[in-house]
Structure 1
Amino acid sequence: MSSRLPLVVILGATGTGKTKLSLELAKKFGGEIIGADSMQVYKGLDIITAKATREEQSAAPHHMIDILEPHELFTVTQYKNRALKIIEDLIDNQKLPVVVGGTNYYIESLLWKILIDDGSYVEVPGVLPNNEHELPSEELHEKLKALDPSMARRLHPNNKRKILRSLEILYKNGRRHSEILKEQQSAKDASRSGGGLRFGTSLVLWLQCNQDILHKRLDDRVDSMLEQGLLEELLNFHKLYNQERINSDDKELDYTKGIFQSIGFKEFHPYLMLNEEVRSTDEGKKRLREGIDQLKLVTRRFARKQNRWIANRFLSRTDRQVPPIYGLDTSDVSRWEENVSKIAFEIVESHISGGHCVHERLPSRSGNSFPNSDDTTHTCEVCDRIFIGDFQWAHHQKSTRHKKMVESKKRKEKQAINE
């Protein structure tokens, strides 16, 4: 194999077959798999986080899976530093690195040179004065607005993690986060959101699927998880790790940190809180059914969010260099080899050899890009919601929910006038 090894990144919504393709590529090219999933880095909850099975992991070397205890905090910088070392070692040893996962900021940290190397927020004793990490998100946002108004405009008032990160950068460096970003964005190959590509030979394979088919597939997958023992997994995890939190002085459980934020755990919280006797009653069965329905709902919603992120960050950006991205249709699993495996092999082979790729990369969607207004805050008075960036704002205005709220408001105003 030549020295022109690309960094292969497999993207796609949950349920599109990323694990399957990653195994095929690793076997075909003698590569190794690097996980990019913020929940799969934790031990436990193997079913709900859809980890590759033990059998699948034995078929090809896997990295960045099951490396943390459930209670440990892990920043994107920690992930990036560990994963990059693995990737660089693989390339040095002529082994194809295959990155697969659905955590957006993990993947971006590998593909692009992140401007400020502080990662996601993690509490550092002595950096934040007066125990500010304990304050409500809205109050922290007001503090940031007073200290760094430009940065505050870019962050949603409820995004406590990023607000704390900006405050920490300010206290640590004695300079505003926004000023540091502006200075670094003026560097060569940088953009408004990051530096240039870290690996010039990187490529992206986007697994796509018809939305109706994917929704059905995701619902079926939840049912399959239940058959595999999902409830037992959740109950055991709840007993081992969550019961202690419940018995602590905290009045409310925090589902925003570590593995506790994984989709599927908090959805079953009302059921898990019942004692064993009540779980078998009608009330228990009702809460279980609600948990299952909620899991299916949030999983479908998460899949749509993942696809919007890929389209926005890779195809709709005109302000930064992006790696070539190729679309692979996974809608018909009976034609997987023809529509997915064969094409993926040919794409990767062409990038390794440096030859011409017969498969066209996906075109950019520059007409939908909002590269120059990422720091614009919009407030929808009708829906009582805040949106950061023109892309999210435009998407909200076109949404069915927003239009219904507008119509409802008009009807109420008309009724008030008539009265």
Structure 2
Amino acid sequence: MKNLISVVGPTGIGKTRLAIDLAKHFSTEIVSCDSRQFFKEMKIGTASPSEEELKEAPHHFIGNLSVTDYYSIGQYELDALEKLEELFKQYEVAIMVGGSMMYEKAVIEGLNDLPEAHIGNQKKLEEILNSGGIEKLQEILKKLDTEYYDVVDIQNPRRLLRAIDVMWQTGKKYSELISDSQASRNFNVIRVGIEAPREELYARINKRVELMMENGLMEEVKGLTEYRDLIALKTVGYAELFKYLDGEWDLGFAIEEIKKNSRRYAKRQLTWYRKADDIHYLQLGYSDQDFQDLIQWIDKEIKSK
């Protein structure tokens, strides 16, 4: 049976580097499950792999969509599984990487047979978003399902819209609907991650936001002004700078809000991953020997499955 190594962890922890190193070791390719990196216009604000990193190992689902495209998690599941089937014809091992928890879950476990988006609900929720802001959607979700509220990226309206829509349609909590794995896969899954003390992680996130600004995030956001009402752009790094460009916030405050919201998202990711008992962790700043030890552990896992 073929093997999928899934690299997980919170934002800013160094997943991209580990995934590339693993891909080079196993002479294979990488499938991204970072849903924000799908959009080609959002390279800087989503910390997409650099051109140099993309040359080190073949990547899939990086910059493959436009912000104007509609793309659902269900479609991603189908596309990713199709890509893996293609890769497994050539390789014994493939790598998946990304911090979008539900997208990883869709690939390794499958999602419940959830209803398609309800057009009426979506329109109503988009009206609420545009009139009351993302805070109003957060408030609705928290009332309907506190468990999902505690782990979802609450700054990502796409996630909120989907969960509320499904709950309105089914009358059931979204956390309950997605809790059970639905599909058996014809490949083994080996999950590895990177962890660090929270203070160190938060410091890395703060520094990364500063680097994004140095690397041209403001120019990227300005270039997307005409698309600002699209759901894809109502997200961390973009929503805050649009408020600066509108004159609502000064620049220093906007940057601090990006840092704060990024840290909040990382905290939610940690809550999600903490519930899993099948992730083998490396410590941040791992040595070459630590990496070799990881390879030995992976090899044993592959042989034992």
| TM superposition score category, shorter chain reference | 0.7 to 0.9
Q: Choose the corresponding residue for 1:270, options 243, 246, 256.
A: 243
User: Kindly tell me: are residues 177 and 82 of structure 1, through their superposed partners in 2, closer, same or farther at Cα, counting changes over 3 Å?
Assistant: farther
SS in 2 for 1:7: strand
Residue 148 of structure 1 aligns with which residue? none
Q: Choose the corresponding residue for 2:266, options 303, 306, 321.
A: 303
- Matches of residues 194-343 of structure 1 in structure 2 within 5 Å? 194-195=181-182, 197-199=184-186, 201-238=188-225, 240-242=226-228, 253=229, 257-258=231-232, 260-274=233-247, 287-312=250-275, 314-315=276-277, 324-330=278-284, 333=285, 335-339=286-290, 341-343=291-293
Deviates more, 1:154-163 or 1:19-28: 154-163
Matched residues in 1 for 2:210 and 2:127: separation? 39
Q: Choose the corresponding residue for 1:105, options 87, 102, 105.
A: 102
Residue 27 of structure 1 aligns with which residue? 24
Larger Cα-atom Rg: 1
**Retained in 2: the 8 A contact 1:7–1:201?**
yes
Shift of 1:15: 1.3
TM-score (norm 2): 0.81
Matched residues in 2 for 1:336 and 1:298: separation? 30
For the aligned residue pairs, the C-alpha RMSD in angstroms reads 3.0
Residue 77 of structure 2 aligns with which residue? 80
Greater relative contact order (Cα < 8 A, sep 6+): 2
Shift of 1:160: 3.7
**Retained in 1: the 8 A contact 2:7–2:19?**
yes
Matched, 1:347 2:300: no
Shift of 1:67: 1.4
SS in 1 for 2:38: coil
Matched, 1:6 2:7: no
- Cα deviation 1:87-127 (Å, max 9, x = unaligned): 11212222421110011110000111322054xx545xxxx
- Cα deviation 1:354-380 (Å, max 9, x = unaligned): 38xxxxxxxxxxxxxxxxxxxxxxxxx
SS in 2 for 1:57: helix
Residue 46 of structure 1 aligns with which residue? 43
User: Kindly tell me: are residues 308 and 10 of structure 1, through their superposed partners in 2, closer, same or farther at Cα, counting changes over 3 Å?
Assistant: same
Unaligned runs of 5+ in 2: 129-142, 150-156
**Retained in 1: the 8 A contact 2:218–2:241?**
no
- Cα deviation 1:394-418 (Å, max 9, x = unaligned): xxxxxxxxxxxxxxxxxxxxxxxxx
Matched residues in 1 for 2:38 and 2:77: separation? 12
Q: How many residues align?
A: 279
SS in 1 for 2:11: coil
- Cα deviation 1:312-331 (Å, max 9, x = unaligned): 2x13xxxxxxxx3211111x
- Cα deviation 1:246-272 (Å, max 9, x = unaligned): xxxxxxx46xx22x1331000112212
Matched residues in 1 for 2:14 and 2:242: separation? 28
